[in-house]
């Protein structure tokens, strides 16, 4: 064993992937590693990747849980294509993740788990540690399980409990490789297990065992350091997309002076919004965990009728169940925010995997002429601002807004600069004035076509509301054909006029060129990085990434007109390009579609863009 001092090498960026069985604690391990990156001042983006089954089969490829972290000295935009370092806690995790590791990358393996039964369940005919499978990689073979149990023996920790701590041993090795300290992780243990001092002591000891083991064997002869990124002065934190969405809604409630109500049914991957908002009763947040999706959205409509910022959260299957009630919100012209954290479908589909396949449902998935505003967040941190904007648009225009995020940005995390409330735009809600003699429930603002918001308890403003067609201005039930056409056109035009209150579509790059890359929502990071790399090589490529979908920005046609070719990239079979074909039919579109439950890789995008440029 070597005890010589390691050389320290500075890196601009590194991609680390933790992988193991579902019970090996890989999500926690990756989360702690990213927290340390945040405290070190690094920029980062994470990608949790775990199975859909609650108890996936032990030691099988289908039961592998992974967590990828991309850390940078400079701004990073994706969770990384291939990993520089893979931690594989069992044979199945090696089998499932080897293709995601760079050649000559480092693989840390718990050799204790590479027994015949586990190898067979993982699909290996022979032990990959004993043949040439890993010849192209730098492999660190460590008896992690044995060393963890031995290290905890004197503490009287049961072997089964000790085995569950081995993820901290692996984390200790990573702390040594990347010169991290234990201070913040110790604080995490002390907070999480404050009533279990023995657990705190065990975890602290194991992480140091891993660190000391790596140091004693001279793991690679070199350790690595990633300098702090140059960030604008401010207060930062590690934030997931779901957490950012929740905070954006709370900020909108405070800014608008409305109490916030969330009526939802738990569903992967949206449940954390429900969990987070429930924690903030001090901000007048009220949360109702409904018995089903329909009850969730209907309770939110009731809260909106009562004058609250009303929200319901769900994923694709739940959005379909909410569709009739969303129509009720459109008909009554009540503000409500519907958050759809998209996942793989159809039906139950791939509950823990990411996808963008709910777009057409969000745009058209309701009976009758039933328009809603549809917007999409681009990143985990960006979810804060678009949740805020969704609430602002819903209340100012008195209509439902569907906010689309996805599993990748909802569960992933990144560095977030916490804004001041004074930095956020004002929210001007059209609240009716009590005892206003000129009040009429469907009397409209001349510019926005929005009606006033009158709720129970406001004197002199009693009015009728419901799902039957309303008479223009006074709101009485009406079956008059001409009135129905008029009210339908009003509701459609009200959404169309939102284009006057959203920003023009921006372009990354030049306004004209050979290729315009078009995307929407959570694919932003990969598309931006791919275009950036191509532009650095002199290619005339630009990016138009859409957050406002219905309505589209007013300058969309102008943006598209400046390019010889347009390629639309999305994680579905072409829903946005179909929609663009309806709204901007004069253009020809190339497409790149991926629907594997995984985000785009920068390398595959660059390859596709180059081929598109070469096509005659």
Residues β-bridged to residue 10: 225
pLDDT at 43 exceeding the cut of 90: yes
pLDDT band, very low/low/confident/very high, at 1 (cuts 50, 70, 90)? very low
Name the one residue in this structure whose structure tokens are 């540690």. 129
Q: What is the mean pLDDT of residues 509-519?
A: 98
Crossing angle (nearest 10°) for helices 382-397 and 241-256: 40
pLDDT band, very low/low/confident/very high, at 260 (cuts 50, 70, 90)? very high
pLDDT of residue 153: 86
Task: Please check whether residue 112 is in contact with residue 91, taking contact to mean a CB–CB distance below 8 angstroms.
Answer: no
Lookup: tokens for 553: 């920005």
Task: Please check whether residue 507 is in contact with residue 604, taking contact to mean a CB–CB distance below 8 angstroms.
Answer: no
Of the candidates 86, 91, 80, the one whose C-alpha atom is nearest the C-alpha of residue 105 is 86
Of the candidates 176, 171, 185, 182, the one whose C-alpha atom is nearest the C-alpha of residue 225 is 176
pLDDT band, very low/low/confident/very high, at 74 (cuts 50, 70, 90)? very high
Q: Is the peptide bond before 225 cis (omega within 30 degrees of 0)?
A: no
Q: Which long-range contacts (CB under 8 A, 24 or more apart) does 158-165 make?
A: 161/202, 162/202, 164/23, 164/25, 165/202, 165/203, 165/206
β 13-21/7-10 pair status: unpaired
Lookup: tokens for 589: 């579109």
SS3 615: coil
- Each residue's pLDDT tens digit, 332-361: 999 999 999 999 999 999 999 999 999 999
pLDDT of residue 2: 40
d(CA 64, CA 202): 25
- State how far the alpha carbon of 283 is from the alpha carbons of 44, 243, 254, 277, 380, in Å: 30, 15, 8, 9, 23
pLDDT at 214 exceeding the cut of 50: yes
pLDDT of residue 218: 73
Q: What is the mean pLDDT of residues 393-401?
A: 98
pLDDT of residue 198: 86
What is the enclosing helix (H) or strand (E) of 261? strand 260-264
- Each residue's pLDDT tens digit, 45-71: 999 999 888 778 899 999 999 999 999
Q: Residue 616: CB partners within 8 Å, gap ≥ 6?
A: none
d(CA 18, CA 131): 23
Give the other-Cβ count within 10 Å of 202's Cβ. 24
- Each residue's pLDDT tens digit, 412-452: 999 999 999 999 999 999 999 999 999 999 999 999 999 99
Give the other-Cβ count within 10 Å of 193's Cβ. 15
576-585: burial string, b at 16+ Cβ within 10 Å, e else: bbbbbeeebe
SS3 79: coil
d(CA 168, CA 89): 11
Burial of 16 (C-beta count, 10 Å sphere; 0-12/13-18/19+): buried
- Each residue's pLDDT tens digit, 79-115: 999 999 999 999 999 999 999 999 999 999 999 999 9
Lookup: tokens for 310: 């009303």
pLDDT at 455 exceeding the cut of 90: yes
Task: Please check whether residue 336 is in contact with residue 304, taking contact to mean a CB–CB distance below 8 angstroms.
Answer: yes
d(CA 565, CA 540): 11
pLDDT of residue 293: 98
Task: Please check whether residue 333 is in contact with residue 396, taking contact to mean a CB–CB distance below 8 angstroms.
Answer: no
- Each residue's pLDDT tens digit, 275-313: 999 999 988 899 999 999 999 999 999 999 999 999 999
User: What are the E-state strand segments in 407-536?
Assistant: 413-417, 513-520
- State how far the alpha carbon of 359 is from the alpha carbons of 267, 343, 503, 550, in Å: 18, 12, 21, 10
pLDDT of residue 3: 45
pLDDT of residue 168: 96
pTM over 0.85: yes
- Each residue's pLDDT tens digit, 230-258: 888 889 899 999 999 999 999 999 999 99
SS3 309: strand
pLDDT of residue 6: 66
Domains of the chain in sequence order? 7-225 (3.40.920.10), 237-421 (3.40.50.970), 513-614 (3.40.50.920)
Give the rounded percent of residues in the chain with a pLDDT score beyond 90. 89
pLDDT of residue 220: 67
Give the rounded percent of residues in the chain with a pLDDT score beyond 70. 99
d(CA 243, CA 254): 17
pLDDT at 4 exceeding the cut of 60: no
pLDDT band, very low/low/confident/very high, at 372 (cuts 50, 70, 90)? very high
Lookup: tokens for 415: 């560095």
Task: Please check whether residue 245 is in contact with residue 391, taking contact to mean a CB–CB distance below 8 angstroms.
Answer: no
């Amino acid at each position: 064993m070597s005890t010589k001092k390691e050389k320290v090498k500075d890196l601009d960026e590194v991609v680390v992937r933790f992988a193991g069985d579902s019970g090996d604690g890989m999500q926690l391990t990756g989360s702690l590693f990213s927290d340390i990156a945040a405290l070190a001042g690094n920029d980062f983006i994470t990608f949790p990747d775990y199975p859909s089954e609650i108890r996936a089969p032990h030691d099988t490829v289908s039961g592998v849980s992974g967590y990828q972290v991309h850390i940078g000295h400079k701004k990073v935009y994706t969770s990384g294509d291939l990993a520089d370092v893979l931690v594989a806690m069992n044979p199945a995790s090696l089998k499932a993740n080897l293709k995601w590791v760079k050649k000559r990358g480092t693989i840390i393996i718990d050799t204790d788990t590479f027994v015949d039964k586990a190898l067979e369940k993982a699909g290996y005919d022979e032990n990959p540690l004993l043949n040439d499978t890993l010849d192209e990689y730098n492999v660190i073979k460590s008896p992690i399980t044995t060393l963890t149990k031995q290290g905890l023996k004197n503490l009287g920790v049961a072997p089964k409990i000790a085995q569950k701590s081995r993820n901290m041993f692996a984390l200790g090795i990573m702390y040594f490789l990347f010169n991290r300290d234990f201070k913040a992780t110790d604080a995490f243990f002390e907070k999480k297990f404050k009533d279990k001092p023995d657990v705190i002591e065990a975890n602290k000891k194991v992480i140091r065992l891993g660190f000391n083991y790596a140091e004693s064997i001279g793991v690679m002869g070199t350790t690595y350091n990633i300098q702090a990124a140059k960030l604008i002065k401010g207060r930062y934190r590690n934030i997931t997309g779901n957490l950012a969405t929740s905070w954006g809604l709370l900020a909108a409630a405070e800014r608008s002076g409305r109490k916030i109500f969330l009526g939802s049914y738990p569903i992967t991957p949206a449940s954390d919004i429900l969990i987070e908002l429930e924690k903030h009763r001090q901000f007048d947040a009220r949360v109702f965990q409904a018995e089903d999706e329909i009850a969730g959205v209907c309770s939110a409509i009731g809260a909106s009728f009562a004058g609250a910022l009303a929200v319901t959260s769900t994923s694709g299957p739940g959005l379909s169940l909410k569709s009739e009630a969303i129509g009720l919100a459109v008909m009554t012209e009540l503000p409500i925010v519907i958050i759809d954290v998209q996942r793989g479908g159809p039906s139950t589909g791939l509950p823990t995997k990411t996808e963008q396949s709910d777009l057409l449902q969000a745009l058209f998935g309701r009976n009758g002429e039933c328009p809603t505003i549809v917007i999409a967040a681009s990143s985990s941190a960006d979810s804060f601002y678009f949740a805020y904007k969704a609430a602002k648009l819903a209340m100012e225009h008195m209509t439902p807004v569907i906010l689309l995020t996805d599993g990748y940005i909802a569960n992933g995390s990144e560095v977030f600069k916490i804004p001041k409330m004074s930095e956020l735009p004002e929210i001007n809600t059209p609240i009716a004035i009590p005892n206003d003699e000129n009040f009429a429930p469907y009397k409209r603002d001349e510019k926005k076509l929005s009606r006033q918001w009158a709720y129970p308890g406001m004197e002199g403003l009693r009015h009728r509301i419901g799902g039957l067609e309303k008479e223009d201005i006074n709101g009485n039930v009406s079956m008059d054909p001409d009135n129905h056409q008029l009210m339908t056109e009003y509701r459609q035009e009200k959404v169309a006029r939102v284009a006057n209150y959203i920003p023009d579509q921006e372009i990354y790059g030049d306004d004209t060129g050979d290729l315009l890359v078009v995307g929407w929502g959570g694919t932003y990071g990969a598309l931006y990085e791919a275009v950036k790399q191509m532009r650095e090589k002199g290619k005339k490529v630009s990016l138009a990434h859409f957050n406002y979908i219905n309505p589209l920005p007013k300058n969309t046609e102008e943006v598209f007109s400046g390019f010889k070719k347009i390629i639309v990239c999305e994680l579905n079979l072409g829903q946005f390009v179909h929609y663009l074909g309806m709204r901007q039919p004069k253009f020809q579109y190339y497409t790149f579609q991926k629907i594997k439950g995984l985000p785009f890789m920068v390398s595959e995008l660059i390859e596709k863009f180059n081929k598109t440029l070469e096509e005659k």
